[in-house]
């Protein structure tokens, strides 16, 4: 299969040269390592970035215009690594290209639910498989922990708490997808503009009700201080925390308190690094297999729509002073 890259920035290519990032964490490196796939062309509106990327990955075709690249190369697979505000437009363009069978799109799929739904409908009508890189879905360590939670690790889930920075759509949807992965559907929300960041995508706080009866809260923090991305799941039989952007985890289980006789408390039982290596290689390989076997990818377009639906409910609730707002299905 022939793959092409749109957007030669950090997640497209440049993170590969960051010595602190372990494993395959760029689209270019993922296609390079994916069996049966060849990265044949790259495109960026910034000529210097496109040139550097083509040289870095030994790709002969280097373009400044996405439509021109699609027309010339006729790829099977397209990676979308451009800024959030451009996703709807470049994915729409990609869906016009008859050769395309799969799209590996960076999150969010679009910046509005309406645009994302239109893309999803067009992809379904054409039989194009779209995978969205809510990357923790592709982390082996998180998949394993989510399975254990579903199998009863925490007993009955009571409360899901989280922290994030940098925009309800941009990173909030990352967290909503993470929360859905561990705790299932979010049924209703209340949103609050505590930080008052302004702009197109302010980082809002939220209170959440899950379909399984658990409740939750998500707090937004100021990105200018530092990045923060965590989840804390408390159940009737234990607690799971994922912190350090999800790279570390800790499980506590209920037991007899070592401090007070006759009390039951949470006691540390397990923890360490959770495996987040090679998430992009996992995503690329899974997309190819999804196309070959006619199935949905691990993070499908429906997951991207669900995360955007929660974010939009939080935004409309915040605009209405924190009114309880059902999440659209
Ligand atoms: N899944 C994750 O964990 C994760 C991590 C980082 C970034 N992202 C997402 O990836 C996307 C890109 O982020 P980044 O940090 O790599 O950004 P970046 O600014 O480093 O790179 C984006 C590149 O896209 C190019 N570009 C802009 N418009 C274009 C167009 N119409 N056609 C071709 N190229 C175009 C820019 O010139 C730039 O080089 C964002 O949507 C972001 O949300 C996801």
- pLDDT tens digit sequence for 31-48: 999 999 999 999 999 999
Q: For residue 14, give the 3-state DSSP assignment.
A: helix
Q: How much of the chain, in percent, has pLDDT values that exceed 90?
A: 99
Q: How far is residue 214's CA from residue 34's CA, in Å, rounded to a whole number?
A: 39
Task: Give 250-300 pLDDT, tens digit per residue.
Answer: 999 999 999 999 999 999 999 999 999 999 999 999 999 999 999 999 999
42 within ligand 1 shell (Cβ under 6 A): no
Per the prediction, the chain carries an average pLDDT of: 97
Q: Is the CB of 201 under 6 A from ligand 1?
A: no
CA distance 300 to 92: 17
**What DSSP character marks residue 59?**
-
**Of 10, 28, 49, 115, best ligand 1 pocket probe by most atoms within 8 Å of the beta carbon:** 10
Distance 223 CA to ligand 1 centre (A): 18
Q: Per-residue pLDDT averaged across 146-157, rounded?
A: 97
**Positive or negative CA dihedral for 272, 249, 305, 307?**
negative
**Could you read off the pLDDT of 122-143 as tens digits, one per residue?**
999 999 999 999 999 999 999 9
Q: Is 95 left (phi over 0), alpha (psi -120 to 50) or beta?
A: alpha
Residues in a beta bridge with 241: 232, 250
Longest dimension (CA), the chain: 74
Under the banding of pLDDT at 50, 70 and 90, the label for residue 188 is very high
Instruction: Give the tens place of pLDDT for each residue, 49-83.
Output: 999 999 999 999 999 999 999 999 999 999 999 99
Ligand 1 pocket member 246 (CB < 6 A): no
Half-sphere exposure of 249 (CA within 13 A, CB side): 21
Q: Return the structure tokens found at 286.
A: 């899974």
What local confidence, expressed as pLDDT, does residue 329 receive? Answer: 82
- pLDDT by residue (tens digit) across 224-256? 999 999 999 999 999 999 999 999 999 999 999
Bridge-based pairing of strands 215-221 and 205-210 is antiparallel
Q: What's the 161 CA to ligand 1 centre distance in angstroms?
A: 29
Write down the pLDDT at residue 209: 98
| CA atoms in the 13 A half-sphere facing the CB of 42 | 30
**246: closest CA among 146, 122, 108, 313?**
146
Q: Mind listing the domains of the chain with CATH numbers?
A: 2-132 (3.40.50.720), 137-275+309-326 (3.30.360.10)
Tell me what the mean pLDDT of segment 92-97 comes to: 98
107 alpha carbon to ligand 1 midpoint, in Å? 10
Q: How far is the CA of 314 from the centre of ligand 1 (A)?
A: 25
- Asked if residue 108 has pLDDT above 90, the reply is yes
- The answer to whether the beta carbons of residues 103 and 131 sit under 8 Å apart is yes
Mean pLDDT of 180-202: 98
Distance, CA 64 to ligand 1 centroid (Å)?
14
Q: Is the pLDDT of residue 301 over 90?
A: yes
Q: Whose CA is nearest to atom 7 of ligand 1?
A: 11
Instruction: Give me ligand 1 centre to Cα 104, in Å.
Output: 13
Our answer on whether the CB atom of 94 is closer than 6 Å to any ligand 1 atom is no
The secondary structure of residue 11, as a DSSP letter, is T
Cβ(43)–Cβ(5) below 8 Å: yes
């Amino acid at each position: 299969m022939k793959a092409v890259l749109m957007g030669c920035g950090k997640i497209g290519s440049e993170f590969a040269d960051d010595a602190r990032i372990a494993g395959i964490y760029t689209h270019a490196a993922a296609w390079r390592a994916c069996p049966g796939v060849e990265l044949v062309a790259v495109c960026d509106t910034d000529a210097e970035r496109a040139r550097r990327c083509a040289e870095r990955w030994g790709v002969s075709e280097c373009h400044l215009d996405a439509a021109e690249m699609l027309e010339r190369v006729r790829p099977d697979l397209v990676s979308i690594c451009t800024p959030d505000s451009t996703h709807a437009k470049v994915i729409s363009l990609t869906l016009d290209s008859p050769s395309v069978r799969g799209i590996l799109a960076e999150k969010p799929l679009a910046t509005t639910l309406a645009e994302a739904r239109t893309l999803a409908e067009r992809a379904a009508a054409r039989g194009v498989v779209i995978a969205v890189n809510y990357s923790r879905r592709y982390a082996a360590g998180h998949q394993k922990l989510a399975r254990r939670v579903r199998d009863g690790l925490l007993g009955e889930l009571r409360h899901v708490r989280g922290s994030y920075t940098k925009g309800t759509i941009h990173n909030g949807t990352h967290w909503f997808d993470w929360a859905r992965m561990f705790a299932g559907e979010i049924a209703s929300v209340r949103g609050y503009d505590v930080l008052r960041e302004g702009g197109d995508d302010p980082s809002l706080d939220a209170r959440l009700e899950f379909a399984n009866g658990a409740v939750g809260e998500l707090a937004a923090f100021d990105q200018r201080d530092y990045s923060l991305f965590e989840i804390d799941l408390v159940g009737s039989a234990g607690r799971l925390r994922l912190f350090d952007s999800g790279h570390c985890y800790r499980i506590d289980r209920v037991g007899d308190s070592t401090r007070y006789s006759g009390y039951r408390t949470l006691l540390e039982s397990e923890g360490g690094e959770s495996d987040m290596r090679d998430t992009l290689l996992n995503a690329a390989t899974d997309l190819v297999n999804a196309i070959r076997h006619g199935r949905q990818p691990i993070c499908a377009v429906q997951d991207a729509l669900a995360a955007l639906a929660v974010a939009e409910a939080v935004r409309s609730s915040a605009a209405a002073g924190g009114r309880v707002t059902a999440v659209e299905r």
